[in-house]
Amino acid sequence: MPKLPGISQKDAVRVLCKLGYNVIRQGKHITMSNGTLMVQIPRHNPINAFTMGHIAQHVGLSPDDFRRLL
pLDDT bin (cut points 50, 70, 90) of residue 19 is very high
**Res. 56: pLDDT tops 70:** yes
Sheet containing strand 22-26, strands side by side? 22-26, 29-33, 38-42
- The domain spanning residue 18 has which CATH number? 3.30.920.30
Q: Give the per-residue pLDDT at 44.
A: 86
Structural domain of 43: 9-65
- What is the reported pTM? 0.87
Residue of 26, 17, 21, 51 lying closest to 36 (CA atoms): 21
The domain tally of the chain equals 1
Spatial separation of the C-alpha atoms in residues 26 and 38, rounded to whole Å:
13
In a domain, 19, yes or no: yes
Query: Could you count the other beta carbons within 10 Å of the beta carbon of residue 46?
Result: 15
- Answer yes or no: is 1 within a domain: no
Establish if 43 belongs to a structural domain: yes
User: Could you give the CA distance from residue 45 to residue 18 in angstroms, rounded to a whole number?
Assistant: 20
